[in-house]
Amino acid sequence: MDTNEKLRFLLELINCNYPVGMWHVASYDSDPEPIGNRPFFSFLPNHFSSGEDIRLLKDYMLSGRPEPVVLEYRIGLFWIVGFTFVPESPVARDMYFLGPFFTQKNSRSVLLKRLDLYSVSVPVRRQLAEALLNTAVMPFPAITRLAVMLHKCLTGQNISTLSVKALGNLPDNSTDETGSGSPKTHRGIYNSEKEFLRMIREGDSRYPEALKISSSLSAGMRGQAGDSVRQTKNNLLVLLTLVSRAAMEGGLDSSVAYDMNDTYAARIESCRSVSELSLLGRLIVDDYAGRVRQHKEQAGISPLILQSCDYIRSHVNTELTIQILAKRCGYSDYYFSRRFHQETGVSIRQFILEQRLEAAHDLLLSTDKTVSEIAASLCFESRSYFVTAFRRKYGCTPGSLRSRKA
């Protein structure tokens, strides 16, 4: 593959997730030439640039450094700039721009305020703000990784992300990699995390979108764990702690939340792949948010019965009887059984069965345990009884559900 073919291929891969473009610029005064397909709403490298941006690029190119740069414009847009060089000379010949990106999601009002820096009419400013809302959002460390890929396509050389220089209003990206990072990037991450945790506290069913935005701004903790599975486990343990605390603030009984935390922490450590951890992560968030939502929806149920429901959900892998549950509440077996049915509309035995079947459903999709192992771990009397009950609830056998997943 020649250089242009490599660049087109790189752009196609990036465009699978991010609507960005790539342009070849032969000189400062020449018009950018698109490489590959250009997103219909994308901006050119000279849009929003200033004399200071050009000066920074010129000074960098005259320094003879071959590494790519990440250039930040005043409006907060980022461009990756790669270079090709005159053979056997430190002088850069051509520039290749990849972008643009934001490192955080911006509201329309924020964009309009930033556009005040430019002399444009109000109608044009509004049109630009609408277009900027569609700009790709990517955490700064991920942008530097794309810069490394662009450099490889242009020169065939391998470099570290620490070699990528940041120009403009950002500090050098080496501080970003080691933990201090860009304050603006961290503000965006913090704000998105606050919104996500607020939704967990309130049992808001829209939390998946908030989690998606937060995840798009950060790849998690920046420590070097040594392997991707360990790093993913560390990130998931942090998420588990945050979600657990938010759920308690939302009304989930603290003893239940702590029991869930311990159970999920053990499951996280037992996972053997990133994909398995990804499935478990979604299950954890769904479980906590769902319980908070149930807690708020069941406002008419007495606290003791609510606590019993939460206890059952978090102890489906232990022995659960009317006697054990009634004793925890200080009631007689008969009174507790009757009150539970009156307040929830189902018997204790049916409620326990439903929770165990839901737990089995999740285990079938998120672990490699056999059907017999799952049945035994959830205290079903036998494998055959488990399969029959599962088919009655879900319309398929446990084995067929797992085969669909595969």
CA gap 219, 229 in Å, rounded:
13
Written as six digits, the tokens of 126 are 């509004």
Cis status, amide bond into 32, omega within 30 of 0? no
Residue 382's SS3 state is coil
DSSP string, 33-99: EE-S---TTPPPTTTT--HHHHHHHHHHHHTT--S-EEEE-TTS-EEEEEEEE-TTSSSEEEEEEEE
Phi then psi for residue 206, to 5 deg, are -90, 10
Total Cβ atoms within 10 A of residue 112: 17
Written as six digits, the tokens of 323 are 């006697």
CA gap 3, 322 in Å, rounded:
72
Query: What was the pLDDT predicted at 29?
Result: 65
CA gap 288, 304 in Å, rounded:
19
pLDDT in 10s for each residue of the chain, 406 residues: 888 899 999 999 998 888 888 988 876 667 788 887 665 455 677 666 666 667 777 777 777 778 899 888 877 788 899 988 766 665 666 889 998 888 777 778 878 887 887 777 888 888 888 888 888 888 777 888 999 999 999 989 999 887 888 776 543 333 333 333 444 444 456 667 777 888 888 887 777 776 765 655 555 555 544 456 777 788 899 989 999 999 998 888 888 889 899 999 999 999 877 667 877 888 898 889 888 888 777 767 788 888 898 889 889 999 999 999 999 989 999 999 999 998 888 899 999 999 999 889 988 887 878 999 999 999 999 999 999 999 999 999 998 888 775 5
CA gap 47, 31 in Å, rounded:
12
What structural domains does the chain harbor? Answer: 3-176 (no CATH), 182-297 (no CATH), 299-406 (1.10.10.60)
Burial class of residue 102 in the structure, from the number of CB atoms within 10 Å of its CB (0-12 exposed, 13-18 middle, 19+ buried): buried
Query: Which residues 6+ apart lie within 8 Å of 330 measured at CB?
Result: none
How does DSSP classify residue 172? P
Contact between 168 and 141 (Cβ < 8 Å) = no
State the residue for tokens 């189902």: 346
Written as six digits, the tokens of 28 are 């400062």
Query: Which residues 6+ apart lie within 8 Å of 185 measured at CB?
Result: 103, 104, 139, 140, 176, 217
CA gap 385, 371 in Å, rounded:
12
Closest CA to 325 of 337, 317, 313: 337
CA gap 156, 150 in Å, rounded:
9
3-state secondary structure 197-263: HHHHHHCCCCHHHHHHHHHHHCCCCCCCCCCHHHHHHHHHHHHHHHHHHHHHHCCCCHHHHHHHHHH
Instruction: Say what angle helices 3-15 and 140-155 make with each other, to 10 degrees.
Output: 160
